[in-house]
Chains A and B, each alone.
Chain A
Amino acid sequence: MYTKILVAFDGSEGSRKALKRAVKVAYCFEAELHSVSVEVDLPKYVATVGEFEDVKRQKDAYFERLNHEAIELARAEGVKLTPHVLAGHAVDSIVELCKEGGFDLLVVGFTGHSRIYERIWGGTSRNLARFSPCAVLIEK
């Protein structure tokens, strides 16, 4: 049923549950599994390129460690995971990747890092369910 699955993974508790679910679903359907992490808090209106690049380098290193963990978790279940790291707005970037990559299932956690933020602004998972071009599985 599903041939190409994308899971949103930012290291939060919710995204870890989503990753485990995505690995199981990919195993069942023998689907390709990809993960996407979005660097959302890159500094705006910077004075020098270096200031921006220093922060980006820290985030790149953080997501590299995270993705290494995710790849090992998937490998332990017999699934190959291909990670992607993007910069920008979380919902826009993930939706755009879904479209470009031709994914037929997006797996996301119900909450990300900030529960208060998500309760006030409506939730990344809710917006992804709304704007994603493919089916969305929200893991609680």
Chain B
Amino acid sequence: MDHTWYVAMVWIGLALVASIISIRTAISVALVEIIVGVIGGNYLGLDPKVEWISFLAGFGAILLTFLAGAEIEPQILRKYGKESIGIGFFSFLLPFLGAMAYVYYVAHWTADAAKICGIALSTTSVAVVYAVMVETGLNRTELGKIILAACFVTDLGTVLALGILFANYNVWLAIFAAITTAVLFITPRFARWFFEAFKNHVSEPEIKLLFFILFGLGWLATHANSEAVLPAYLLGIVVAGLFQKHREMVRHLRTATFALLTPFYFLKAGTIVSIPAIWSGLGLILVLLAVKVAAKFIGVYPLTSIFRFSRKIGMYTTLLMSTGLTFGSISALFGYSRGMITQEQYTILVTVVIGSAVIPTLIAQWFFVPKQQDLKGDWQK
């Protein structure tokens, strides 16, 4: 037992260091935790296979996905459905197919490993895109809202692919699908009543209700060999409208998630990265980054022309849609945990995912940020 406390102390100590570095450098705590995890796994002997750590990390990933789904503004998706679904769908599909085909036919990965690669590199990070757009004020514009809605659609594609491609097509999957559908239908109405009836109590019953549903759906997903993040994301989407009226509760949930759960997830994600594998796989890392960005260009840029975005705004949109972080790392960890990809392949994918969070963002910010006059009036040509 004292060994358990020691392990807990080391992991939380690293999370504390990551938190301080994040505040000082203004870099996301998630990214810093991954980097600290890389150092921990390669130089400090951190073991990511400890069972209780794996549980907390898994729960952290589920809550991250749930919170990501809950951040959608349903009215935006309704208002900009045509553009966002079109751009979002091809933003998912082309990189998924392109990355999968490359690693299967050229790098000779197995079929399952190729699928994991396709899923991991198909993502778009809503949060990274949102943060970039706030700095330019674009989040308040029509263009910004279309881009954000398209990012949600892309991530929905990623999560669906993760949940469906590897599932066992048996009675458990049918049960999982049926119960999930029922829960998604009932939860918004039931939760609306429950949150009003039991709000503002120190024991946080609203949060416990959400945990109960997420644990239940996670258990069913595991039985069906699907992935717990799929129902978590969908649940987040259906309660998104309700969460806009309960911001304080959401803040408490986010505090619990970021204080205790996601550090284990991101640290674990980092510990599995092998630094020697980064060097030996550097060529493939650069190629896959290029494949992801190129596929996003092929999928997204023509659509921006069809929807009459100007050239500069089309390039800006496409570059932002090329970013990825959370779902990419979740997909890679899913593949590694199930033995579908090796540690070297996992390292390559996570490095590409992190690279895709940074490089397209920098290029977009340096060269293609639309000025305010570009967004006034008819920004569609």
Q: How far is the CA of A35 from the CA of B31 in the complex (A)?
A: 34
Q: Would you call A47 and B26 a contact (CB within 8 A)? A: no
Contact with A along B325-338 (1 / 0, CB 8 A): 11000000000000
Q: Does A87 have its Cβ within 8 Å of any Cβ on chain B?
A: yes
Q: Would you call A47 and B28 a contact (CB within 8 A)? A: yes
Q: How far is the CA of A40 from the CA of B258 in the complex (A)?
A: 23
Q: Would you call B28 and A43 a contact (CB within 8 A)? A: yes
Q: Would you call A48 and B29 a contact (CB within 8 A)? A: no
Q: Does A42 have its Cβ within 8 Å of any Cβ on chain B?
A: yes
Q: Would you call A41 and B258 a contact (CB within 8 A)? A: no
**Segment with Cβ contacts to B, from A25-33, A50-58, A67-75, A132-140:** A50-58
Q: Which of B127, B135, B136, B251 contacts A46 (CB 8 A)?
A: B127
Question: Within 8 Å CB of A102, what residues of B?
Answer: none
Q: Which of B136, B137, B325, B371 contacts A47 (CB 8 A)?
A: B325
Q: Which of A40, A47, A88, A100 contacts B127 (CB 8 A)?
A: A47
Question: Within 8 Å CB of B29, what residues of A?
Answer: 43, 47, 51
Q: How far is the CA of A42 from the CA of B29 in the complex (A)?
A: 12
B65 — nearest CB in chain A belongs to which residue?
A48
Question: Interface residues of B: mostly helix, strand, loop or mixed?
Answer: helix
Given A41-B26, A43-B26, A54-B254: A48 in contact with B71 (beta carbons within 8 A): yes
Q: Would you call B67 and A52 a contact (CB within 8 A)? A: no
Q: Which of B26, B254, B372 contacts A44 (CB 8 A)?
A: B26
Q: Does B64 have its Cβ within 8 Å of any Cβ on chain A?
A: yes
Question: Within 8 Å CB of B358, what residues of A?
Answer: 45
Q: Would you call A49 and B258 a contact (CB within 8 A)? A: no
Given contacts A43-B27, A45-B325, 8 further A-B contacts (CB under 8 A): A42-B26, A44-B131, A47-B29, A47-B64, A47-B262, A52-B130, A56-B134, A88-B136
Which positions in A face B, CB cutoff 8 Å? 40-52, 54, 56, 86-89, 96, 100
Cβ-closest 8 pairs across A and B: A47-B30, A88-B135, A41-B26, A46-B28, A46-B127, A49-B71, A45-B28, A52-B131
A-B contact pairs, 28 of them (CB 8 A): A40-B26, A43-B22, A43-B131, A44-B28, A45-B30, A45-B128, A45-B325, A45-B358, A46-B30, A46-B131, A47-B28, A47-B29, A47-B30, A47-B31, A48-B67, A48-B127, A48-B254, A49-B68, A49-B130, A50-B67, A51-B30, A51-B127, A52-B130, A52-B134, A54-B251, A87-B135, A88-B135, A89-B135
